[in-house]
Structure formats: structure tokens, C-alpha cells
Structure 1
């Protein structure tokens, strides 16, 4: 198999001494590859090294062809135009000068063979659902999702042989996600995409998992990868059980060997006393018995150590993707109890049905009992604003809000002290017990929040949110799966399964919404109208 990207023994660390990659080897073939791994494993760093955005401390990367790269945080610049972001402003200016009658040689040189650049740019924007976005529009007037799609159009316009995408669906509404999925599905070159978007990962040809400092390739899409891992883990669990049985057997044999040696020693002493063997002969027999016993004991100990080593190897093959298991009885809301009544602003024409939705625009948002509401709508329609308004106005029950940015923790405090700050009446032991259920056991609870990886910070934030006093009976989540790895998304779903209160979640992640048992869907349109979906 020929490889389009070869990573040869690459190491990289940050100036503070933190090692991210250490002697990493990887090879990416043609086609679409989904690069997955836990937060903090180095996926984004690896993409930046391949894109020449970062220089490795050692090792090398070779890439066949031109590289296009879409980072998580696209450097936009509010004053720049869409044309600037597409990197065609100079060519357009030369074209317009020639069309205006200026035949200067530098204009022709700037255009080269790219006489249809505006038509191609327009076609890419239209294909990604940006037909309403003009080339001279400033970036500052675009929504976050629109900016990402323009940045993607810029990469597609270059027609690179290799395209690198880092969490491209973050902040995209459903329509934009579908268009991005279509663009990825139609991509004919080499593509490596870092994502937790299950629908997107179903479109790839292979999965590359970055785990424990190494990359392993799995043929097929995400579903096929999960099947293979499940089979591997089943086999690994059987090996662990077999190795545990062998350790127990060797431990019993060691005990039996020691008992046998002691019994033989006693028998030898009695025989020597009864036969009154000369001391020199008795001493020789004793030394020989001791040598034999030592060999037997050493052999038994060696077998036990070998069994323990095999058990350790077997256990290392079992993934430690621990699950969150919690109980939150204090968050329970009785069925039918009103937890939120929020009057909604209405604009002229709101009596009409929302276009494409088919539901009446709501005059008042009423949430009852343990409803689980998905708040949908295009980028820029005001979903986050609505959540913040609920927080400001308050509800009939305690409310907690998880913003898109996980900035609820004090970086200077430990995980333990962050939770104690929101649960002041809980004892230290109670808080430690709660944190253990969120996988912060022992010294991990004492770790400063500012030193946590992305996945750890998410779990710590979730622990603080759900441990707060009084217990939240209305939970507001704003794009909670953005920037989370697949394991963290699963852990969030587990935590929400234990939550017994009402929930309003803004998300475009349909598989995630299905796992948390959404009971009602609302859609916010661009004009601010909110309707049943």
C-alpha cells in the first residue's frame, strides 16, 4: 500500500516541558481517514505538524502533494472580506483592472490561468449553502458557522491533494453539517479529519486511533471500528480471566511447595536424630536438602512472577475507558410540575407558521416535569441568547447553565475545592465520593483545574454542575459535545441518564440527542420565533 502521509519517529513538546508526542510513527493511506483519540492525546498537534504549522522536536513528516488545513480555531479577522478569506482578493483585483481596460503586465501575471476564479469561488460557496454570502462581505458580519464554512470553501477552492480538517462540525447547524458531510463524502483526494461527529466518521474509509502515544489503523468507518474494538476487548477480557486463574494456581503451588519443603526439612531432622548419623554426613545431607528446597522455592516464585507478568500484559490490552456511574435523586422533578414559564418576544407575523417547521410560534415557553428539550435552529438564530435569558430571569426551580466554553472552574483551585465551592455544606469525604463517580479518585481530586486535559476538565465541570447546592432541577446545556472526544460524549450521556430534572440542550449532534432521550424539540428561526419542531 502506498501512503500519502508518513510520520517518522516524530516528537513534540511545549516550552514548559510538557511532552505531547514521543517518537510517533504513523502512515496515512489514500482516501478518507478519521483520526480519533481522547482529549489531550495530541490529535490537533499532529495535524499542525503535518500542515507545517508546528515544527517537531525530532523526526520528520513527508506528504505527497499540496496540503490544505482547516484548524479548529480559524484565524478570521473581523475586518477582512470573504474574498480575503478565500485568498482570491489579489486575483479579483487584477481581473477587475483588466476588465476596466488596464492592460498592465502585472495584472495578467496575477491572474495567470485563473480567469474563472470568481465563478469557482461562487460555486464552492453555493455548494456549502452560502449562496447568500457575497464575496465582498466582511467576516465580522458572518455567524460562527458561516465563517467555518467560508474557511472550508477556501480550502476546497485550492484543490489540494491532501486536506486536513480539525473538528470541522463544531458550531455548525444541522443544514451546514449536512453540507459538510456531503463535501467530505464527495472528496476524491486524501483527507484526514479529527472529529467526534459520529455521522461524519461514518463516511470515512478508515479510522486512525491515537492512543497511548501510538497510532493504530482500523479499516472501515466508525461503526466498523467499534465492532473491531469490541471484539478485541472481549478477547482481552478472556485473556485477563485466564491470566488471573493462572496467577491463583501458581500462588497455590508456591504455598504447597513451601509446605512440602518445611515438611521434608522436619522429616530430615527427625531421621538424623533417630539414626544418629555422624555430624559430617548429617551436615552434608542438610546442605543438599537446603539447595534442593531453594531451587524448588525459586522455581515456584519464578512461575508466579511469570504468571503475574502475563496478567499485567493482558490487563494492559483492556481499555480503561471507565464509565461515569452516579445517582442524583435531589434533581428529580415530579411529572407535570411547571419548572419554567418564560414569555417570549413576538414580532409582526408571528401568528403564521414558521417556514419549514409547521408549528405555531410560541408566545410563552413552558417547561413541565422532567422534560428533555432539544433547542434547534440555524447558527445566529439566538439559541444561546435564549438560554442566558432563562438564567437571568430564573425559573420555578434551581437552574444551572453549562456554556459552550467550559469556564465554570477556577483554574487556581483543585478539582476538590472547585466542587466544595458550589457544595459548601458537603463534607470533604462526601465530595471525594462524588468525584470518584466522575473518575477523580485519590490524588486526582487534588489536581489543579488549570492542569486538566480537555476531557478531565469537562468531567470536573460536570461534577461541579451536578453537585451544586441546591441540586439543579433545570439544566441548560449549550453545545455540550463541542470539542469532546467520543469517550467524553459517552460519559456525558451516562451522567445525563442519572439526571432526573428538566433539561434544555442546544445541540446539532443528532446521535447525542438520541442517546439522552429527548422528549420534545423546539426550533428557533432566524427571526427569533420559537416553535414546536
Structure 2
């Protein structure tokens, strides 16, 4: 029987009662399926339901074959040897023991059929671009992107029948993405892939669009999906315009009907007052007129109600991505004003001793570029004051805030509003909520616990906390900010940063995003 993964009639709600899925169906057969959807739509939650990490309230999940899952926020112990992270440490130890002459039944059982485990592990690392990484290396010696590739290498070594990947391009530089793309292309079994990487999504065979708790399937790549969506949205907008026109017409006809009925009523009353016919006849006509008028008015009102229902249906078919609104005058930095200066700074980074001179002035927007392991995160942490340099001086002239890759600034046990209040203690609860509404946390959404947020929602909450902090930041340091963001959220972030009037230093491998935020200078770092 061929490997597959499916769920039928899946129901799931959060502890606060919010329903995420009701009757959701999904089948993943042979080939590569790209799972897309807005942040908060439940993509990562669906993967956790499919792996059994979460239990649905109703419905069933069926897996034919073994399942491998690479989570979005892969966390590996920094002290872990690479061999152990790959899951081959025990087999390798037994193999080496047998080679030394310790041919015990326990060692043979530990090796099983994996006599070539080291060769396969080495080949797997090489295929993913980790050529210089030995099995004795510690995980802490690797960059975040290399750690993600290491996790994928370990997953592939276990040879699962069905593969689930959740945002696998996070933290990956251009070369690493190339190796990941090759691995995805080479995969022959069923694959369910959550990603916002357009190039990666253009390697899939079908798109599963998770929208408002339902899966809508489209054959082909993400580009094919976009073309189909454009056609659907054009048709939906035509339907919307027609429905709006129909509502206006039905409302106009209702008004005209009411005018005619009022005219008839006045005419009938005049006839009754003048007593031109017997009273019994006039009363009978009056009763008939009332019945007829009521029927006509009811029919017209039904037509208006039906037109409004068609309008509501047409409106729901047209998708509109909400926009983050940022209007923070206190973040403005005058042109030419010194923001931060690095003088002969040597960051705490392994490798060659390189002294960095950097001066950021006015509302500059600087992109930190370079491969994984080149020290972009270390330099940002040095700028933020989290890491003291090995040598040199850092002069900070304005308030600044640092948005790290791991988004670990917020307290998961507190709500979004409570977290933001910690960053802006002088703001009232109403002020905090009004500001959060601009970051799309409106009403009860501001009371969600941070621990229950999706990756994209957590990013928005963290960005809101930093930008609404007191004093207002005039320099933002961003480390791979588009990680975990869907394409709509990337546009929202770009819009927010376009309205930010301070200086930016951004580490990112997302070239289209960098182009969209008006980068004025690029600083290239080389791997030591």
C-alpha cells in the first residue's frame, strides 16, 4: 500500500473557546503539497494535529507508513554532538565497538542493518551543503540555518514514508535554500510543506489553501495558484459589483412600492371620507387593499433581504488583506543625525579577527548580508548591547530595539495587551488597546495569550511591543524578520516599516523584502 496521510472531519478549538477547525478534510498522497494560508489560519496547528502532538475534538487522522516532521522552531541542545542530533550516536558507538573487537549481541542489535550509517550520514550532510560539518562537531558551533539543515538531514536519515516540513527555509541563506530546494525536488514520497518561500512553493505539485477553517485545493505550483486566484478574485469582484447594484435596485424598488402604497392609502381614505360607495363595500375594499399592500410590501422586503444575502456572500468571496498602521512621530530621526557608531569593533564571533567600523546616520536603512555563519546575528546583538565586543567601542545615540530571530521577548503566560503594557508602562489600557488595533489585534484578540499565537501573530505582537515601547525606538534592529510570515504578512511588515521614520539595520536573505523597504546601504559579511 502506498504511503499517504489524511484527516477527515477534524474539529479543533483553543482553550479559550475559539474554533479553529470544524469538519476539516485533507488528503496528502504521492507528490509534493504546499500548505499555505494567512498567519493564524492554523497551518502549524494542523501539522501538530497530523503528527499526534495535539488531539482533535472530533474527526480522525490516518497515516499509512511512517511519518517524519520538521517543526518550524527547531530547537537543538547547543552541547549536542552532530551525530547525536542526527540520531545515529548509539548505532555509531556500537559500530565502533564491533570494529574494536567487541562483537557482543547488544552491539550487533544496536547496529542492525545500518552498517553504512556513517557513510549515509556524511552523504546526507554533504547533499545539504554541510560539507565542513563533522559528526563530532557540537550543534552550538553551527548557525541557525545550518541547525535547520542538520535537523532535516537527521529526518531524512530515518527514511520516513511521509514528510512534513514547517517553514524549512527560515534562517537559510541563499546557498542553503538551494540545497533544501534540491532535497525537496528529490523527495519521492508524500510531502506536506508549509512555507512562504515562493521559489520553494513553485516546486510543489499542488497547493492546499487553508482559509477560514477549510482547505481549498489547486493543482500545480504556487504561480499556478496565483493565476487561478486572480481569475477567481476577478469573478468574485464582478459578483460583488453586481450584488451591490442589485441591492441598490431592490432598495429603490422598495421605496417606490412604499410610495405607491401610501398614494393608494390616501386615495382610499379620500373615497371613504367622501362616502361615494356603500360603507360595507368600502370596508371590504379597504381590507383587500391592506392585504394586497402587505403582500406587496412583504415581497419587496424579501427581495431586498435576498439581495443583501447575495451581497454578503459576494463580499465573503473577495479576499482583502488587512494592513498594519504605524504613525509614530516620536520615532523620527533627522537626516544626518548620528544614530550608532562602531569603532574598530571585533564582535564575539569565531574565526578571523576582523575589526568593523560602521556609522549609521539619520533615517538610514542598512541591509546586513552574508551567508549563514558570517556573524550577522552576532553583529546585531553587539549593536543592541546584548553582547560586549571583544575589542573596540559602540556608541549608541538614540533609543533602539532589537527583534531577534527566535521572537523570545514576550512572556508566553501573559496576553498580548499585558506584554505590550510592560514595554509601555506609562500608557493606559485604552491607549495600549488602541495602538494594538493598528497591529491587527482588535477586541478580544488583544487578550490572547502569547503562548497560543501562531508564528506570524507572535511576530506582529513582538513588533507592536517594540514599536510602541517607551521611549519610542529611533533605531530598529531586525534579524530575519520575514521568517514565519505568510506572503500577506510580509506585505504588512513592509508597509509598517515604510511608515517607520527611524533608522533600520536588517539582516535578511529575502531580497524582494529588502527591495520593498527602501534599503539605502548594504553591508556584506563574509563567513570566517
Shift of 1:191: 1.3
Q: Secondary structure at the match of 2:321?
A: coil
Shift of 1:221: 2.4
Q: Secondary structure at the match of 2:147?
A: helix
Deviation digits for residues 65-93 of structure 1 (CA, Å, limit 9, x no counterpart)? 32221122335345543222322233323
Distance in 2 of aligned mates of 1:38 and 1:170: 17
Distance in 1 of aligned mates of 2:403 and 2:76: 26
149 and 457 in structure 1: CA distance in 2 versus 1, 3 angstrom threshold: closer
307 and 46 in structure 1: CA distance in 2 versus 1, 3 angstrom threshold: same
Distance in 1 of aligned mates of 2:432 and 2:14: 33
Written as runs of structure 1 = structure 2, the 5 A alignment for 1:474-493 is: 474-493=475-494
Shift of 1:312: 0.6
The answer for the alignment partner of 1:148 in structure 2 is 148
The answer for the alignment partner of 1:373 in structure 2 is 366
CA contact (8 A) 2:401 2:477 kept: yes
The answer for the alignment partner of 1:531 in structure 2 is none
Instruction: Out of 150-159 and 275-284, give the one that drifted further.
Output: 275-284
The answer for the alignment partner of 1:281 in structure 2 is 281
CA contact (8 A) 1:419 1:463 kept: no
Instruction: Out of 334-343 and 254-263, give the one that drifted further.
Output: 334-343
155 and 421 in structure 1: CA distance in 2 versus 1, 3 angstrom threshold: closer
Deviation digits for residues 384-443 of structure 1 (CA, Å, limit 9, x no counterpart)? 33223323355333323223344555764663993696394x8988776655543345x3
Q: Secondary structure at the match of 1:319?
A: coil
394 and 300 in structure 1: CA distance in 2 versus 1, 3 angstrom threshold: farther
Distance in 1 of aligned mates of 2:152 and 2:445: 40
325 and 142 in structure 1: CA distance in 2 versus 1, 3 angstrom threshold: closer
88 and 419 in structure 1: CA distance in 2 versus 1, 3 angstrom threshold: closer
Written as runs of structure 1 = structure 2, the 5 A alignment for 1:51-450 is: 51-74=51-74, 76-328=76-328, 330-346=330-346, 363-392=356-385, 393=394, 395-408=396-409, 412=414, 415=417, 418=420, 422=424, 424=426, 434-441=435-442, 443=443, 447=447, 450=450
Distance in 2 of aligned mates of 1:78 and 1:390: 24
Q: TM-score, normalised by structure 1?
A: 0.86
Distance in 2 of aligned mates of 1:182 and 1:430: 49
394 and 249 in structure 1: CA distance in 2 versus 1, 3 angstrom threshold: farther
Shift of 1:274: 3.0
CA contact (8 A) 1:321 1:487 kept: yes
Distance in 2 of aligned mates of 1:416 and 1:251: 46
Shift of 1:301: 0.5
Q: How many residues align?
A: 514
414 and 150 in structure 1: CA distance in 2 versus 1, 3 angstrom threshold: closer
Q: TM-score, normalised by structure 2?
A: 0.86
Instruction: Out of 34-43 and 133-142, give the one that drifted further.
Output: 133-142
CA contact (8 A) 1:339 1:397 kept: yes
The answer for the alignment partner of 2:495 in structure 1 is 494
Deviation digits for residues 25-72 of structure 1 (CA, Å, limit 9, x no counterpart)? 112232222111223322122222323334433222233432221122
Shift of 1:106: 4.7
Distance in 1 of aligned mates of 2:14 and 2:265: 62
Deviation digits for residues 180-232 of structure 1 (CA, Å, limit 9, x no counterpart)? 12211322222111122233223222221111111111223223322322332
Distance in 2 of aligned mates of 1:124 and 1:337: 50
CA contact (8 A) 1:375 1:524 kept: yes
The answer for the alignment partner of 1:520 in structure 2 is 521
Deviation digits for residues 503-525 of structure 1 (CA, Å, limit 9, x no counterpart)? 10122223322322323222334
Distance in 1 of aligned mates of 2:418 and 2:86: 47
The gaps in structure 2 that reach 5 residues or longer are 386-393
The answer for the alignment partner of 2:389 in structure 1 is none
CA contact (8 A) 1:34 1:192 kept: yes
CA contact (8 A) 1:39 1:453 kept: no
The answer for the alignment partner of 1:506 in structure 2 is 507
1:28 and 2:28 are equivalent in the alignment: yes
Query: What is the RMSD of the two structures over their aligned residues, measured on CA atoms?
Result: 3.2
Deviation digits for residues 337-372 of structure 1 (CA, Å, limit 9, x no counterpart)? 44322113359xxxxxx99xxxx9664111233322
Shift of 1:148: 2.1
The answer for the alignment partner of 1:350 in structure 2 is none
The gaps in structure 1 that reach 5 residues or longer are 348-353, 528-533
Distance in 2 of aligned mates of 1:342 and 1:75: 32
Distance in 2 of aligned mates of 1:63 and 1:129: 31
Deviation digits for residues 478-512 of structure 1 (CA, Å, limit 9, x no counterpart)? 22122223222210011112223321012222332
Distance in 2 of aligned mates of 1:164 and 1:273: 82
Distance in 2 of aligned mates of 1:24 and 1:9: 5
The answer for the alignment partner of 1:530 in structure 2 is none
Shift of 1:284: 1.0
428 and 84 in structure 1: CA distance in 2 versus 1, 3 angstrom threshold: closer
Distance in 2 of aligned mates of 1:432 and 1:102: 67
45 and 341 in structure 1: CA distance in 2 versus 1, 3 angstrom threshold: same
Distance in 2 of aligned mates of 1:313 and 1:139: 52
Shift of 1:121: 1.0
The answer for the alignment partner of 2:390 in structure 1 is none
Shift of 1:330: 4.9
CA contact (8 A) 1:420 1:431 kept: no
341 and 242 in structure 1: CA distance in 2 versus 1, 3 angstrom threshold: same
